[in-house]
């Protein structure tokens, strides 16, 4: 909890900090990478840095955390903190790295706001930072312990056993631990980090959702190649598509992620768009194996049936659940491989889709898609607390709010 003195100072300065938080984030990253270029080379996503999405996500999380402290002093934004902690744990973030961030972040605040940063203001925002940082450090320590790994050492060597071309832009890789030891357990919906060495010597990291059964001795993940249409070409996805073949080795982290089923018998709605179907497929596989009997509504939106990665699995797994129904929307409809009668034209529209009382929803896909689906679900009476989401890449939901 923020001290009474700091609460008053943060409340008074939050509008000024909030208005400048984008400039602060820009300057922070510039200072950080000038002092520690290895962080940009081997830890931070260079694509997200080039597009600015990581900076906007950082700004949004800091502003949201500070706002929560002053408006609801008895609570913490644990959902946000958990999401960040899982992402950090998959990267192997260590406690000393928070001190490095502190140095450059507070320096950026002081430089952007100038004389407005009095000693009292600096002390108050220092308190905000360490409340957030220490909360994340504690969460991450627990996550490391659960996977029996240590901070900074979450990696294992894995061998690629097969590769399947699902669509023109999506390939699925199956991997197994290179040392022959059992694969670590994961929960449906979780992801792993994959680290590759690029031609310039950088060791870049990306997260990919695990698909397939949690009972399998192998693990699988699907990679969509990021084309340079609306931003930078995806250097890791391109590397994996062009170079990774059976027999090759990868450095893969322990599994993490907070978008997981809670084990209840409540009706479910599993909504995805594009490659966001991957965590949903893992959930469907688990539900089928467990004999889930409550209603399950499967919703997916894509450009066309040909672009719908793992469509056959999407249909087959839904068909294994006695109380499940699927609805697929395509912006550019064309004859589908199955000729499925539930295919629809356009973007996802739940207006005539039945949503059972007490439904719990899990969403994954582009942010505009998830915002639209969430709004429709709220209109159908789904409780806000029962709508969960996963963002591939920096979480810009908070930044846009």
Strands 249-253 and 191-197: antiparallel
Distance CA 252, CA 147 (A): 13
Count CB atoms within 10 A of the CB of residue 45: 21
Given CA atoms 134, 394, 365, 254 in this order, what sign does their dihedral have?
A: negative
Distance CA 111, CA 69 (A): 24
For 239, the 3-state DSSP assignment is: helix
Which of 98, 256, 330, 362 is labelled catalytic? 98
Cβ burial of 264 (10 Å; 0-12, 13-18, 19+) is exposed
The CB-based long-range contact list for 111-117 (8 Å cut-off, 24+ gap) reads 111/27, 112/20, 112/23, 112/24, 112/27, 113/16, 113/17, 113/20, 113/24, 116/13, 116/16
Distance CA 282, CA 287 (A): 9
Which of 29, 127, 140, 191 is labelled catalytic? 140
Distance CA 114, CA 106 (A): 12
Are the CB atoms for 343 and 330 separated by under 8 Å?
A: yes
Count CB atoms within 10 A of the CB of residue 138: 13
Distance CA 266, CA 331 (A): 31
Active site residue 289: no
Active site residue 140: yes
Q: C-alpha angle 48/237/306, rounded to 5°?
A: 115
- Give the residue numbers annotated as catalytic, written as ranges: 98, 140
């Amino acid at each position: 909890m923020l001290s009474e003195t700091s609460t008053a100072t943060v409340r008074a300065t939050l509008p000024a900090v909030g208005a400048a938080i984008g400039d602060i984030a820009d300057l922070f990253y510039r200072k950080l990478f000038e002092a520690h270029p290895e962080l940009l080379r081997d830890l931070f996503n260079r694509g997200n840095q080039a597009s600015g999405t990581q900076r906007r996500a950082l700004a949004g999380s800091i502003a949201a955390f500070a706002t929560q402290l002053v408006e609801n002093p008895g609570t913490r934004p644990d959902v946000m903190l958990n999401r960040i902690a899982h992402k950090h744990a998959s990267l192997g973030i260590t406690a000393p790295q928070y001190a490095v961030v502190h140095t450059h972040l507070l320096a950026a605040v002081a430089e952007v706001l100038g004389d407005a940063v009095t000693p009292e203001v600096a002390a108050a925002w220092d308190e905000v930072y360490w409340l957030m940082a220490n909360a994340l450090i504690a969460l991450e320590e627990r996550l490391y312990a659960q996977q029996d790994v240590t901070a900074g050492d979450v990696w294992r060597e894995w061998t690629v056993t097969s590769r399947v071309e699902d669509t023109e832009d999506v390939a699925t890789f199956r991997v197994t631990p290179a040392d022959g030891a059992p694969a670590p357990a994961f929960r449906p919906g979780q992801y792993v980090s994959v680290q590759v060495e690029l031609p310039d010597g950088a060791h870049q990291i990306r997260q990919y959702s695990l698909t397939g059964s949690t009972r399998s001795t192998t693990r699988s993940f699907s990679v969509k190649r990021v084309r340079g249409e609306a931003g930078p070409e995806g250097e890791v996805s391109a590397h994996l598509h062009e170079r990774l073949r059976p027999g090759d080795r990868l450095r893969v982290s322990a599994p993490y992620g907070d978008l997981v089923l809670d084990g209840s018998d409540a009706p479910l709605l599993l909504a995805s768009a594009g490659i966001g179907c991957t965590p949903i497929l893992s959930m469907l596989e688990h539900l089928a194996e467990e004999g889930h009997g409550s209603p399950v509504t499967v919703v997916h939106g894509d450009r066309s049936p040909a672009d719908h990665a793992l469509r056959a699995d999407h249909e087959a797994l839904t068909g294994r659940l006695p109380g499940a129904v699927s609805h697929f929307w395509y912006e550019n409809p064309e004859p589908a491989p199955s000729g499925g009668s539930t295919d629809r034209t356009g973007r996802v529209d739940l207006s005539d889709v039945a949503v059972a009382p007490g439904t719990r929803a899990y969403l994954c896909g582009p942010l505009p898609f998830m915002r639209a689906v969430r709004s429709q679900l709220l209109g159908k009476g789904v409780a806000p607390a029962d709508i969960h989401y996963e963002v591939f890449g920096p979480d810009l939901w908070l930044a846009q709010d």
